[in-house]
Amino acid sequence: MPELPEVETVRRILERVLVGNKIVRAEIADDEIVLKRTPKVQVESALVHKTVTNVGRIGKYFWLELDSQPWVFAHLGMAGWVRELGASTIRLREHGNAPFEDENGNTRFLKMGLETDQGGRVVMTDGRRLARIWLCNQPMDDLAISKLSPDWLTNPMDAATVYARIAKKAAPMKAILLDQSLFAGVGNWIADEALYQARIRPNRLGKEMSLSDTEALIDNLVRIIQEAVDLGADSEKFPKSWLFHYRWGGSKGDELIGGREIQRDQIGGRTTAWVPAVQV
């Protein structure tokens, strides 16, 4: 699913196309699940003839700041995506190889389409209906966003602060890394990658971590996020040494990385790929 680097890539697309421009057309799908029961006309009214002043993001949540409130907020869910029409785009693994347009040239699985007075066009799509779009005045007015930790790209916490918060936890580190109140934007692949590169087994408990362990984890986590963002979340460009390239593929993924066995377990409710010979 889209994690912090993918959502930051989406934010930058929206920023490039929309900021400083007026929205002259908004097409919102009549989907009460994605819209959280907000009438589509209400969302369209919040957008049309409004100028986008900024595009914000914390963790996996992003929003369009407009010259009047309410603002439009969104979450990509498991397979949602945003792209600029007429521009190249990456594909998430969840997208498969299906074309983005149907036989008539219309965007498949459209949930929101926006056009500016400068001719820029962006679309938000989701074939699984797990994305969400809603209205709110400010980020901290939203209950879910208000519970998030500081963003791990723009405002990462230091190791000492994290250590103080995990030192007494009896939960496995994989589950702790998925806790958005501590690690906003971190999802399954980033958690596995950070643990692998920090050489920490995913089922190690928080209370078993030392400060030096935590420092290694945080250093690797911040570096992985920054590098993935710098590469535009294009997984084909991720370093070949990353576990990312081995954790998926075939029926369950590769068996080995660097000649070492990859083990897969359910930890923290998620399938976890790790390397026992490396992670202790």
pLDDT in tens, 55-94: 999 999 999 999 999 999 999 999 999 999 999 999 887 7
**Integer Cα distance of 114 and 122 in angstroms:** 5
Is 172 an annotated catalytic residue? no
Assess whether pLDDT exceeds 80 at residue 131: yes
In the block, residue with structure tokens 């900021």:
19
Least confident span in 218-222, 265-269, 274-278: 265-269
Is 3 an annotated catalytic residue? yes
Sequence-distant (≥ 6) Cβ neighbours of residue 240 within 8 angstroms:
none
**pLDDT tens for each residue of 141-160:** 999 999 999 999 999 999 99
State the pLDDT at residue 252: 64
- Residues of the chain with pLDDT > 70, as a percent, come to 99
**Integer Cα distance of 82 and 193 in angstroms:** 25
Whether pTM > 0.85 for this model: the answer is yes
Fold of domain 4-146: N-terminal domain of MutM-like DNA repair proteins (3.20.190)
DSSP state, residue 111: E
DSSP state, residue 128: S
**Integer Cα distance of 162 and 154 in angstroms:** 16
State the pLDDT at residue 64: 98
Which among 53, 56, 49 is positioned nearest to 23, based on CA atoms?
49
Domain ranges of the chain: 4-146, 159-274
Catalytic option among 2, 139, 156, 172: 2
- Residues of the chain with pLDDT > 90, as a percent, come to 91
Q: For residue 251, what pLDDT band results from cuts at 50, 70 and 90?
A: low
Sequence-distant (≥ 6) Cβ neighbours of residue 65 within 8 angstroms:
52, 53, 54, 55, 56, 71
Catalytic option among 40, 50, 60, 111: 60
**Class of 159-274 per CATH?**
mainly alpha
User: For residue 191, what are its two tokens?
Assistant: 């958690």
